[in-house]
Amino acid sequence: MVLAQLGGSIARALQQMSNATIIDEKVLSECLNEISRALLQSDVQFKLVRDMQANIKRIVNLDDLAAGHNKRRIIQQGKTSVVMFVGLQGSGKTTTCTKYAYYHQKKGWKPALVCADTFRAGAFDQLKQNATKTKIPYYGSYMESDPVKIAVEGVETFKKENRDLIIVDTSGRHKQEAALFEEMRQVSEATKPDLIIFVMDSSIGQAAFDQAQAFKQSVAVGAVIITKMDGHAKGGGALSAVAATKSPVIFIGTGEHMEEFEVFDVKPFVSRLLGMGDWSGFMDKIHEVVPTDQQPELLQKLSEGSFTLRLMYEQFQNILKMGPIGQVFSMLPGFSAELMPKGHEKESQAKIKRYMTMMDSMTNAELDSTNPKLMNESRIMRIARGSGRSVRDVTEMLEEYKRLAKIWSKMKGLKIPKKGEMSALSRNMNA
């Protein structure tokens, strides 16, 4: 079995599991059998496959998981909930506290922020700045050095003010020190949070398991937020964090700004891990930004998987029209990372316009062809002459086309959800 097929088989097995509402012994066994079969067909040693099955079954203790799920404390609008944030320094904890507060504020909550990070100079200023920007009340002190005292005072103050979501930011340190954990434990004991959220930088990789476990052993972590998912890291560490804390990932951070914060959705995450791009977010985006009358046609073309130069031209037009470049296509890794890297929007636009000028010199037959061999040397030379560009420019554009066509072809046969279906699905998966 070639690698791509193996990837496909594993993805299908995982897909079946993620479609199941309840993951029980039977669903898990079926998934593992499916994966094992694919591995065996790929000549993976029998013993390795058998051990893997046994290991996974041992790690994934379904009874435990179910219990953990039931025990998970849930924050409820209307009554006051205290949510405590923990994580190492630099993980993005302070930023995430405000993002979390801001997200809930937009949903009608009355959040408030308490800065119990007395360790890092400037932590209070940072929180204050973010809170002011988002108009969220905050509490902290420049003088008091006891984080427990600040946390308790802050929580009490905001309870009196009938705030229904009180978020406590705690100190992070460079490494997992005993003092940090002791302080965290004390703050937790004194404020009795309804939920403790562990914040983890997606790029920490292999160290994720130990780090998450260390935090879980000190305080009752109930949820995980993975930050910096906009970077290069695939975020595989998130799986370790989930395993170590037996808690779900609830949000991901995708940038430094307040709005760059998303409800965690299993599907695009797994796709990203397997390098398949973010199809579900992509579909939602299409529904959101492509004019309704053009959607059926585009979706039809998507599911056919054939990507002509004309289709590329039309997508470029869409991109340029949309203002902030890359709204739709930034959802696809191939489109965003290489064609339109963040921070280079101007150059990207110029490049797209250049490509379009060259395509203006193409014939209808060339634009509508799905035959890559059609574009021979004499055609390339004619296009170069017609658009006043070099042969190299035209070749580059065609290379770009081939690359995008390859990404596009992966969507072939994709079942296209109707509007709203995908979001409903994401919600179910998060529930």
Say whether residue 267 binds ligand GDP (CB under 6 A): no
Please give the Cα distance from 417 to 30 (Å, whole number): 26
- Per-residue x/- mask for ligand GDP, residues 91 to 130, rule CB under 6 A? xxxxx-----------------------------------
Q: Which is nearer to ligand GDP, 161 or 256 (CB)?
A: 256
Of the candidates 90, 164, 95, the one whose C-alpha atom is nearest the C-alpha of residue 131 is 95
Q: Radius of gyration over alpha carbons of the chain, in Å?
A: 25
Please give the Cα distance from 256 to 264 (Å, whole number): 17
> What is the DSSP code string of 122-146?
THHHHHHHHHHHTT--EE--SS---
Stretch that binds ligand GDP, among 31-39, 84-92, 402-410, 416-424 (CB under 6 A): 84-92
Burial class (CB in 10 A: 0-12, 13-18, 19+), 94: buried
Q: How far is the CB of 22 from ligand GDP (least distance, A)?
A: 32
Say whether residue 228 binds ligand GDP (CB under 6 A): yes
Q: Which is nearer to ligand GDP, 164 or 201 (CB)?
A: 201
Stretch that binds ligand GDP, among 62-70, 71-79, 137-145, 252-260 (CB under 6 A): 252-260
Stretch that binds ligand GDP, among 90-98, 149-157, 263-271, 313-321 (CB under 6 A): 90-98
List the one residue from 253, 277, 281, 326 that touches ligand GDP (CB under 6 A): 253
Say whether residue 336 binds ligand GDP (CB under 6 A): no
Report long-range pairs for 38-43 (Cβ below 8 Å, ≥24 apart).
Answer: 38/1, 38/5, 38/6, 38/9, 38/10, 38/13, 39/6, 41/1, 41/6, 41/9, 42/1, 42/3, 42/6
Please give the Cα distance from 240 to 165 (Å, whole number): 28
Question: Any idea of the CA torsion for 35, 40, 46, 48, to the nearest 10 degrees?
Answer: -50
List the one residue from 7, 90, 305, 334 that touches ligand GDP (CB under 6 A): 90
If one counts every other C-beta atom within 10 angstroms of the C-beta of residue 225, the result is: 26
List the one residue from 256, 297, 338, 399 that touches ligand GDP (CB under 6 A): 256
- Per-residue x/- mask for ligand GDP, residues 311 to 330, rule CB under 6 A? --------------------
Output phi, psi for 148, to 5 deg: -65, -45
Q: How far is the CB of 356 from ligand GDP (least distance, A)?
A: 31
Contact between residue 269 and residue 238 where contact means Cβ atoms under 8 Å apart: yes
Q: With contacts defined by CB under 6 A, how many residues of the chain interact with ligand GDP?
A: 16
List the one residue from 230, 262, 304, 314 that touches ligand GDP (CB under 6 A): 230
Stretch that binds ligand GDP, among 82-90, 100-108, 291-299, 316-324 (CB under 6 A): 82-90
Please give the Cα distance from 289 to 178 (Å, whole number): 50
Q: Which residues contact ligand GDP by CB under 6 A?
A: 87, 89-95, 172, 227-228, 230, 253-256
